[in-house]
Chains A and B, each alone.
Chain A
Amino acid sequence: MNVTVPMPNLSLVVPEILMVILACGLLLVDLFIPKDRKRVVGYIALAGVVVVGVVTAAFWGKMAQPATTFSGTFVLDRFALFFKEVFLFTTGITILISLKYLEIEKVSLGEYYALMLFCTLGMMIMVSGADLIVIYLGIETMALSVYVLAGFMKFDHKCTEAALKYFLLGVFISGILLYGITLIYAATGSTQLAQVAAVIKEKGLAKNPLLVLAMFMLAAGLGLEIAMAPFHFWAPDVYEGAPTPITAFISVAPKAAAFAALVRIFYHGIQLLEPQWQILLWIICAVTMTIGNVTALMQQNVKRMLAYSSVAHAGYILLGVLAANQVGVQGIAFYFFAYAFMNMGAFGLVIYLRRENIVGDDIDDFKGLAQTHPLLAVIMVVFLLSLAGIPPTAGFVGKFLLFAAAIKAGFYWLVALAALNSVVALFYYFRIAKAMYMQSPEPLPQLSPGRGLVLALVVVGVFTLFFGIYPQPLMSLAKDTAHTFMMFLS
């Protein structure tokens, strides 16, 4: 019997193909580079990421209409493109802030960069997945690389412990996710999002308890990377233990990828299951932001504090998912760029403070920074303002969009709670500012940042301010993203 397999349209996966070539090539190149010059691998990776970024951006104009390939399991639309750019941007910044850090930690190895690219590849697949299986493959590609990266300082006890925790919990949640996918298949006979949605609609399965449970399991599976309550327990430990550039990376990119997948899955299927999942998500949203902010209040370790703050931010972004309207998608898209700027920036500062014997992640390490390094203190204040959502920063604009979306969808109480939470957040963010400006510095060895780090800080700092004062370019991109995405649904 002759089975003809249609040749998939490979032009849509060019960025992914390039990424695979780049990552594998990097592993090969690595063999020929002497141990003390591994920085070069980083440069190559960075150049490659920029190239892939440009290639991906070139698709933007053509993708006014979504296109699918691999029998409808892989979709390329502006939504996917936008998020791919978020990942690539984050990866680029992470490479920049890693270069010197790895040398200080004496783990400057070529695999690091290759793993990071594989991770990015996983996320790029994830956000393009139109089929639950593809999404799952993406998640695993990403997660396996991240586990290794989180434990990259293999001689550091805390670091390996963090990686192991991350791995075990990841596996646990992975099981739940897969179980959710099987339940969906059992109920609808398909794993393709569009077909699942069609079957639900056709057979009137909207109130089917099996489906509601399955959806909840999917949310749980993605909830781990999102770090939403109650799936956030790993975050503080891992954020604290992992190498700081990886912490910065984990706090932004995988979260963005998981959110993108969540939006894709839930906007498809869930429109139909609306009342059931709205309540679930409402509770999760409220609990996530409250737990994140309240627990962050008491942290003395800045990495841990930022971990809880990233939980809280997940809560704010859930407002956009919950709103389930175009402004919501626009808000999520915008927010992830803003969040990438400010969070990478804040972690970058922690790396900046890394010296011999000092990790730079204790609040006391920030003491008197305004006197010793005034510019650094100012730029940190910009990130803190943005994280707290105060104009004129990108963080404010993003938060405004999310809140506006939720208001539009009628979630007044939740937005009120989010606003109250923002006030709480202001308190702990400004503990850092207080340490920088109101306390006297302690005698410390000279800081010697790498040039890459300085460049990265300048870039994200300028973007944080620029898109706060003039958000329009990014907003209109996010708006196009949201517009085509919603069009695709109907």
Chain B
Amino acid sequence: MMVLILAVVLIPLLGATINGLFCWFTKRKAHIIAVPAIAIPAIVSLILLARVLQGERFDQVLYWWIPLGDFRVPIGFLLDELSAIMITTVTFVATWIHVYSIGYMDHETPRGYAKYFCYLNLFVFFMLTLCLANNFLLMFVGWEGVGLCSYLLIGYWYEKASAANAGMKAFVVNRIGDFGFMIGLFLIYKHLGTLLFSQAFASAEQLSVGVATLITLLLFTGATGKSAQIPLYVWLPDAMEGPTPVSSLIHAATMVTAGVYMVARTHALFNMAPLSMEVVASIGAATALMAATMALVNNDLKRILAYSTVSQLGYMFVGVGVGVYAAGIFHLFTHAFFKGLMFLTAGSVMHALHGELNLQKMGGLIKKMPITGWTFVVGALAIAGIPPLAGFWSKDEILAGAFMGGHRIIWAVGTFTAFLTAFYMFRLIFLTFFGEPREKHLYDHAHESPPVMTIPLIVLAVGSAVVGLLALAPHGGIVGFLNRTLGEAHEAAGHEGGLTYILMVISVAMGVAGVVLAYFMYMKRMPDPVAMARNFRPVYTLLYNKYYVDEIYFAFIVNPVVGGSRYALWKFVDVIIIDGAVNGVGRLCRLVGGGLRYIQTGFIPDYAWMILVGAVVIYWIGRLF
């Protein structure tokens, strides 16, 4: 089993290394290395998943890195139900994204093409490391690694200022979260004396509630950065500056799911801290609602999808926050399919329209690109929670968990958000694919993408349609499977009760209502959306400007820091003190050197003198003590 796990982790690294070192050789052929480097691990993951299904479990330290007394850093892997689901999702979705990239990136320079695939492989490698680590430190390596790769890939077109800035923003915002995460790790080591998951969770009960709360809140700070929750979600919408398959990878498989996974993985700690759980669920619900409202009025195709990711991640945090960890991970799993799909279709649209992203310039595209259009509709139905597509099952599971756990307000928020989700998704669909074309010129040039791009769309669309049905599998379905490791903080009352059905009907009704409303507004113009925007101008402006959060951050955090660094650190500390010191030392050295040159005896006696004087001074100082 160890060999298989190592294969899953190391093959992508191998692919990245080959394309990284030999990009001058692989060039246009980079995908011949890169695609199998993910496809093989995907197959191996399935084998591993099958073995886990039969009850196998793997938790072993491969070796100790720097063993020194009681401080030992383990390098080891853990394969249980949770990580098996994670790696299967990641590798499966990533494989199709890799395939799709072959078509999408065909305009790149040969070297850039190889570099792109190198980063992509590396990204997956770090994500797999994160998911399979059996200790906090190795997880942290993966955690930082995906951060680095996201920076490289978002800023892939670094000649474009907005791309370079978006990369930087992603990196900096993530660093803020990571800072909290790191302190959390330090505290875990301090209080539990181990970095291994198995030992740490086994002794988690020794922690006082206060310490557990502090640790989990710090860990959650890291999660808000990686998984784009309030207040650190701001990087994700900008992250769409990268190539679209990268957005797809970030939003679906790697990166943003890391935070949810981490919280689920450390559920033993979170169970010790009810307050933290409450915070996680509330932040999740608030983020879900806020991001959904921001998506309502946006006209940028990829941005809407980005807000919907933030919103869906909010759902996942609601799930883990109310203690139905398995439901949260289930939603992560289904979301990977439909969100990966939707970003790829968005990329397909962009590909056809020469990079155009404005919904208001599209319309009627379904006639030109049927595969893209209909697969998108499948994805949208899935995210809107229309049965029997994937999103329905997992979202319902979370909302039911919240309701049963007594979190009525969170349930209400989540249900309302489901309505918003259906609405903005179908607004997007009607504006893009249906109705009359609004820009004749763009429409005329539009064309369906090549098969190398459409086949991944079809595969993921099928996935989005059916994976939810895993909930109905025997032994409690996928949730029951995950619960073998995750267990629930409190048993949610099964699915038998009539209450569950009522909840289910409500949430489906919400989804349908959203679709219908979008249909009337954007296809029939009643009520007319333009008039609506005019009538509710303040609300519209507020939403259109994303609650001015970016502006607030700039005004209160970024600008003061930049200003502070510029005037206090750069102009004063750097220029005067550091530069002064460096130049001063330089001048001093030159002075000393120049001074020595005046002594006719040459260098060697000077050196001898300096040695003597230096030695005597040191000896004398030493004797003083």
B622 and A165 form a contact (CB under 8 A): no
Residues of chain A lying within 8 A (CB to CB) of residue B20:
378
| Contact of B585 with A by CB under 8 A | yes
A230, A297, A475: which contacts B66 (Cβ < 8 A)? A475
Determine the distance from Cα of A276 to Cα of B604 in the docked complex, in whole angstroms. Answer: 31
- How many angstroms between the C-alpha atoms of A251 and B21 in the bound complex? 30
Say yes or no: A234 contacts B607, CB within 8 Å. Answer: yes
Nearest to A327 among chain B residues (CB) is B68
- Given contact pairs A298-B589, A404-B68, A475-B67, A230 touches B604 in the complex (Cβ within 8 A): no
The winner among A172, A375, A401 for most chain B CB atoms within 10 A is: A172
Q: Which one of B514-522, B532-540, B610-618 contacts A?
A: B610-618
| Chain B residue contacts of A404, Cβ below 8 A | 68, 71
Residues of A within 8 A of B69 (CB): 327
Q: Could you say which residues of chain B place their CB within 8 Å of the CB of A401?
A: 66, 68
Number of A positions contacting B (CB below 8 A): 38
A230 touches B21 (CB 8 A): no
Per-residue CB proximity of A302-341 to B under 8 Å, as 1/0? 0000000000000000000000000100000000000000
Contact present for A230 and B614 (CB under 8 Å) = yes
Query: In the complex, which of the residues A229, A327, A374, A472 contacts B64, with contact meaning CB atoms closer than 8 Å?
Result: A472
Chain A residues within an 8 Å CB radius of B607: 165, 169, 233-234
Give CA–CA (A274, B404) in the complex, Å.
69
Q: Are A284's CB and B611's CB within 8 A?
A: no
**A279 with B625: CB separation less than 8 A:** yes
Q: Are B64 and A294 in contact (CB under 8 A)?
A: no
Q: Interface digits, A154-184 against B, CB 8 Å rule (1 contact, 0 not)? A: 0000000000110011001100000000000
B615 engages A220 (CB within 8 Å): yes
The minimal Cβ–Cβ distance linking A206 to chain B, given in whole angstroms, is 15
What residue of chain B has the Cβ atom nearest to residue A234's Cβ? B607
Q: Which of A165, A168, A284, A294 contacts B585 (CB 8 A)?
A: A294
Decide if A471 is an interface residue (CB 8 Å cutoff): yes
Q: How far is the CA of A468 from the CA of B603 in the complex (A)?
A: 41
Instruction: Give Cα distance in the complex from A294 to B581, angstroms.
Output: 10
Expressed in whole angstroms, the Cα–Cα distance for A234 and B611 within the complex equals 10
Asked whether B21 lies within 8 Å of A378 as measured between CB atoms, the reply is yes
Q: Does B23 contact A (CB under 8 A)?
A: yes
The reply to whether the CB of A470 lies closer than 8 angstroms to some CB of chain B is yes
Which single residue of chain B is at the shortest CB-CB distance from A378? B21
Q: For the complex, what is the distance from the CA of A276 to the CA of B622, rounded to whole Å?
A: 7
Query: Assuming A165-B607, A230-B611, A378-B21, is B68 touching A216 (CB within 8 A)?
Result: no
Interface assignment of A283: CB less than 8 Å from any CB of chain B: yes
Q: Check if A374 sits within 8 Å of B610, measured CB to CB.
A: no
B618 nearest in chain A by CB position: A283
Give chain B nearest CB distance to A301 CB in angstroms.
14
Q: Which of B574-625 contact A (CB under 8 A)?
A: 582, 585-586, 589, 603-604, 607-608, 610-611, 613-615, 618-619, 621-622, 625
* Distance in angstroms between the alpha carbons of A279 and B621 in the assembled complex: 9
Bound together, the chains give a CA A287 to CA B586 distance in angstroms of 17
Bound Cα distance from A463 to B597, whole angstroms: 44
Q: Closest residue to A295 on the B side, CB-wise?
A: B589
Count of chain B residues with Cβ under 8 Å from any Cβ of A?
Answer: 30
Asked if B63 and A280 make an inter-chain contact with CB atoms under 8 angstroms apart, the answer reads: no
Consensus secondary structure, chain A interface: helix
Smallest CB separation, A263 vs chain B (Å): 19
Cβ of A49 < 8 Å from any Cβ of B?
no
Smallest CB gap from B585: residue in A: A294
B610 neighbours in A (Cβ, 8 Å): 230, 233
Q: Is B65 an interface residue (CB 8 A)?
A: yes
Flag whether B548 is at the interface (Cβ < 8 A): no
- Which residues of the other chain, B, contact A80 by a CB distance below 8 angstroms? none
Query: CB of A397 within 8 A of chain B?
Result: yes
Residue B572 interfacial (CB < 8 Å) = no
CA distance A148 to B286 in the complex (A): 76
Q: Are B615 and A230 within 8 A (Cβ)? A: yes
Q: Are B64 and A216 in contact (CB under 8 A)?
A: no
In contact, A374 and B21 (Cβ under 8 angstroms): yes
Residues 269-307 of chain A, each 1 if its beta carbon lies under 8 Å from chain B, else 0: 000000010011001100100000011011000000000
Are A400 and B619 within 8 A (Cβ)?
no
Q: Tell me whether A185 is interfacial, beta carbon within 8 Å.
A: no
A172 with B68: in contact, given A229-B614, A280-B619, A280-B622 (CB under 8 Å)? no
Interface residues of A in 192-225 (CB under 8 A from B): 213, 216, 220
CB distance from A378 to the nearest CB of B (A): 6
Q: Write out the residue numbers on chain A whose beta carbons fall within 8 Å of the beta carbon of B68.
A: 327, 400-401, 404
Least CB distance from A47 to B in Å reads: 31
Contacts of B582 in A (CB 8 A): 297-298
Report B514 CB to chain A, min CB distance, Å.
49
Residue of chain A at shortest CB distance from B23: A374
B186: interface (CB < 8 Å)? no
Known contacts A230-B615, A280-B619, A284-B618; A298/B586 CB under 8 A? yes
Question: Is B189 positioned at the interface, with any CB of A under 8 Å from its CB?
Answer: no
Check A237/B603 contact, CB under 8 A, given A298-B586, A298-B589, A404-B68. Answer: yes
In the complex, what's the smallest C-beta–C-beta distance from B245 to chain A, in angstroms? 25
With the chains together, A375 CA to B24 CA distance in Å? 10
Bound complex: CA of A164 vs CA of B603, how far in Å?
A: 11
Q: A231 interface residue, CB < 8 Å from B?
A: yes
Given the complex, which residues of A lie within 8 Å of B23, measured CB to CB? 374
B63 lies within 8 A of A472 (CB): yes
Q: Give the chain A neighbours of B589 by CB distance below 8 A.
A: 295, 298
Give 1 or 0 for each of A14-54: 1 = CB within 8 Å of chain B CB.
00000000000000000000000000000000000000000
Q: Which residues of A contact B63 (CB under 8 A)?
A: 470, 472
- The answer to whether B586 touches A472 (Cβ under 8 A) is no
Asked whether B625 lies within 8 Å of A165 as measured between CB atoms, the reply is no
Within 8 A of B (CB), among A429-472: 469-472
Q: Which residues of chain A (344-393) have a CB below 8 Å from chain B?
A: 374-375, 378
A472 to B68, CA, bound (A): 10
Quote the shortest CB–CB distance from A201 to chain B (angstroms): 22
B residues in contact with A297, CB < 8 Å:
582, 585
Minimum distance in angstroms from B420 CB to a CB of chain A: 45
Cβ contacts A388-413/B at 8 Å (1 or 0 each): 00000000010011001000000000
Among A231, A279, A374, which residue has its beta carbon within 8 angstroms of that of B24? A374
Q: Give every chain B residue within 8 A of A172 (Cβ-Cβ).
A: 608, 611
Contacting residues, chain B, for A216 (C-beta < 8 A): 615, 619, 622
CB-based nearest A residue for B624: A279
Contacts of B586 in A (CB 8 A): 298
State the CA gap A386–B318 with chains docked (Å): 44
A184 to chain B, nearest CB (A): 16
CA distance A375 to B25 in the complex (A): 11
10 A-B pairs (CB sep. < 8 Å): A172-B608, A213-B619, A276-B622, A279-B625, A284-B618, A298-B582, A375-B21, A397-B66, A401-B68, A475-B66
Chain B residues at the A interface, C-beta cutoff of 8 Å: 20-21, 23-24, 63-69, 71, 582, 585-586, 589, 603-604, 607-608, 610-611, 613-615, 618-619, 621-622, 625
